[in-house]
Amino acid sequence: MATIQDSETERDPRLTSDQCIKCQICTAYCPVARVTDRFPGPKFAGPDSQRLRFLPEPVLDLSVDFCINCKTCNLVCPSGVKPSDLNTLARANYVAARGQVPRNWLLGHAELLGRLGSAAAPLTNLVLRDRLVKAIMEKVMGISKERTFPAYARRTFARRFAGRKRGRLHGAGGDSVPSRPRQAAKARKVAYFAGCFANYNDLELGMAVVEVLEHNGCEVVVPPQVCCGLPLIANGEMAAARKNGEFNIKSLGKFAAAGYDIVFSSTSCGLTVRSDYQNLLGLEGAERIAARAYDISEYLLLLHDEGRLDLAFEPGESPLRLAYHAPCHLKAHGVGYPAVKLLQLIPGVEVTDLGKICCGIGGTYGFKKEKYQISMDIGQELFEAIRNSGVPLVASDCETCRIQIEHGVPEVHAVHPAILLREAYRRAEARGRANGRSAERYSQDKDK
């Protein structure tokens, strides 16, 4: 389809701009261009502007900063152009030329926030929820006072997992490649990339993922890992992102080489490692990891296809009606909506796909003062759809989507699908135990 098919495009993603036929499909789908004039849309900010960026003194236009980095444009473009990547590179150039602003530096280094946040938790959470503190943060830092940072946990997931597994801590915390597999030879081996959110904020999610995988006979390890680097990329800090990427590739690479599949419970971390490491950062060895990388729901569905997924889910007391929101970055994985199929396997669960484009959070985007309103305007359609559906529960694979959903529709609760799967397994186990006891009794009775 595209004419530039030689190695040049592979070396330089900017050259995909030559493939644009100006059809405007990307702009029609861009969630930001719909709600604000401050962003001219992916065609204009991407391939059109890229032509000016080939000039020796490229035009530095900060309108790309309003791109929410949802990658919808990459997905819908019929010509193989990657407007989102062009925007990201342009933003990085801008930051390199004009310098970084402290707020974006801080949001980019989300992992540092996580580390400090959990070290001082629960004090951090109290402070971050204080209205005065929020007002000051908005004034001084440009972080919207409407937003609340997710609560930080006192222990990290990595520690909790290591404690539970009696395993040693290693490097940045995590397992080393075991010399002998702990499970049967045929069992799938999983190296779990928890990501900052599960590690610092939502430990339950991390534990649920491990539990569900182990329940299905997988051997699970948690390799040493640092932030995937997406917040850094989104805030124009390419060099720092590259460093994180190199660390993760080295660490995950060892597991991949030893036959481990790499599983992510954050769609965005997964996408970054799977796609951006290679396409945007050009990191060496990225393709070896990408070949073994899976989103958790995608992975579980794969187990199901292989007939390995335990289907003995136990429904709850009453039938559960829930809505599903597909994160943009999940769509960018190009794997469909595996979570919907999984949830439908649970008896009594009724899932409606909300079918809306974007929740509007865009990772750190929606936390920025000047973008808060845009973020909420984008989300409006989704919020309404949730309200209209009347469900109490929304499942979504992405942590910031869940934050946005609960922010926009405070009366609903948003969860990761893995949490629901774990509950169904736990219920089944609990019943199994109960049944088991009665069965035992029955056999004892018979023996008599």
Partner 1 sequence: MEKGEWVVVIGGGSTGTGIARDLAMRGVPTTLIEMEDLASGTTGRCHGLLHSGGRYVVADPATARECIEENRILRRIAPHCIEDTGGLFVAVTDEDLEYLPRFLSACRKTGLPAEEISVREALAIEPHLSPRIQAAVRVPDASVDPFRLAVANAAGAREYGAEILRHTKVVGLVKEGDAVAGVRVAEEGDGRERVIRSRFVVNAAGAWSGKIAGMAGISLELVLSKGTLLIFNHRIVNTVINHCHPAGDGDIIVPAGTVSILGTTSVTVPEPDHDRYGIEDEEIPYLLEKGSAMAPFVRSARVIRAFAGVRPLFEGDEEGQGHYGHGEHREHDDRAVSRNYVIIDHETVHGIKNFLTVTGGKLTTYRRMAEAAADVACARLGVAAACRTAGEGLPGVASTEKPRNTFTICECEFVPRAEIQDRLEKLNAADSPQPPQALLADLRRRTRIGMGTCQGAYCGYRTAGVAHETASFSAREANWMLAKFLQERWKGTRPVLWGDQAREAALVAHIYRGIFNIDEKVQ
- Residue of 29, 30, 50, 394 that binds partner 1 (CB under 8 A): 50
Helical pair 417-447 and 296-305, crossing angle rounded to 10 deg: 40
- Residue of 31, 32, 35, 40 that binds partner 1 (CB under 8 A): 40
- Number of neighbouring beta carbons within 10 Å of residue 77: 24
Give CA–CA dist 76/221, Å, rounded.
36
* Whether 261 contacts 189, CB under 8 Å: yes
Stretch that binds ligand SF4, among 19-27, 207-215, 220-228, 389-397 (CB under 6 A): 19-27
Q: Mind giving me the DSSP string for 275-314?
A: IIHHHTS--TTHHHHHTTEEEHHHHHHHHHHTT-S-----
Pairing between β-strand 320-325 and β-strand 393-396 as defined by DSSP bridges: parallel
Give CA–CA dist 371/361, Å, rounded.
9
With CB under 5 to 8 Å by kind, the binding choice for 8 among ligand SF4, partner 1, none is: partner 1
Write the single-letter amino acid at 109: H
Residue with tokens 């925007």: 87
Stretch that binds partner 1, among 40-48, 166-174, 182-190, 230-238 (CB under 8 A): 40-48
Taking the complex as a whole, the smallest distance from the CB of residue 71 to partner 1 amounts, in Å, to 22
Q: Which is nearer to ligand SF4, 47 or 174 (CB)?
A: 47
Q: Does 52 bind partner 1 (CB under 8 A)?
A: yes
- Residue of 13, 20, 236, 262 that binds partner 1 (CB under 8 A): 20
Q: Return the residues of window 29-58 that contact ligand SF4 according to CB under 6 A.
A: 30-32, 42-43, 46-47
Count of residues that bind ligand SF4 according to CB under 6 A: 27
Q: Does 400 bind ligand SF4 (CB under 6 A)?
A: no
- Residue of 14, 40, 49, 67 that binds ligand SF4 (CB under 6 A): 67
* Residues 325-342 as b or e (16 or more Cβ within 10 Å = b): bbbbbbbbbebebbbbeb
Q: What are phi and psi of 357, to 5 degrees?
A: -70, -65
Give CA–CA dist 417/397, Å, rounded.
7
Taking the complex as a whole, the smallest distance from the CB of residue 152 to partner 1 amounts, in Å, to 42
Burial class of residue 120, CB neighbours in 10 A (0-12, 13-18, 19+): middle
Taking the complex as a whole, the smallest distance from the CB of residue 272 to ligand SF4 amounts, in Å, to 14
Rg (CA), the chain: 23
Q: Residue 322 belongs to what H/E stretch?
A: strand 320-325
Q: Does 69 bind ligand SF4 (CB under 6 A)?
A: yes
- Number of neighbouring beta carbons within 10 Å of residue 20: 21
- Residue of 14, 35, 73, 225 that binds ligand SF4 (CB under 6 A): 73
Burial class of residue 239, CB neighbours in 10 A (0-12, 13-18, 19+): exposed
Q: How far is CA 394 from CA 338, 401, 411, in A?
A: 15, 10, 11
Q: What is the dihedral of CA 171, 175, 180, 184, to 10 degrees?
A: -160
Q: Which is nearer to partner 1, 4 or 101 (CB)?
A: 4
Q: Return the residues of window 73-92 that contact partner 1 according to CB under 8 A.
A: 79
Q: Does 133 bind partner 1 (CB under 8 A)?
A: no
Q: Does 2 bind partner 1 (CB under 8 A)?
A: yes
Q: Which is nearer to partner 1, 19 or 267 (CB)?
A: 19
Taking the complex as a whole, the smallest distance from the CB of residue 102 to partner 1 amounts, in Å, to 27
With CB under 5 to 8 Å by kind, the binding choice for 77 among ligand SF4, partner 1, none is: ligand SF4
Taking the complex as a whole, the smallest distance from the CB of residue 49 to partner 1 amounts, in Å, to 8
Q: Does 361 bind ligand SF4 (CB under 6 A)?
A: no
Q: Return the residues of window 53-72 that contact partner 1 according to CB under 8 A.
A: 54-56
With CB under 5 to 8 Å by kind, the binding choice for 3 among ligand SF4, partner 1, none is: partner 1
Q: Does 25 bind ligand SF4 (CB under 6 A)?
A: yes
Q: Does 112 bind partner 1 (CB under 8 A)?
A: no
Q: Which two tokens stand for residue 137?
A: 């943060």
User: Applying CB under 8 A, which residues contact partner 1?
Assistant: 1-6, 8, 17-23, 40, 43-44, 47-48, 50-52, 54-56, 79
User: Applying CB under 6 A, which residues contact ligand SF4?
Assistant: 20-26, 30-32, 42-43, 46-47, 67-73, 77, 79, 81, 83-84, 87
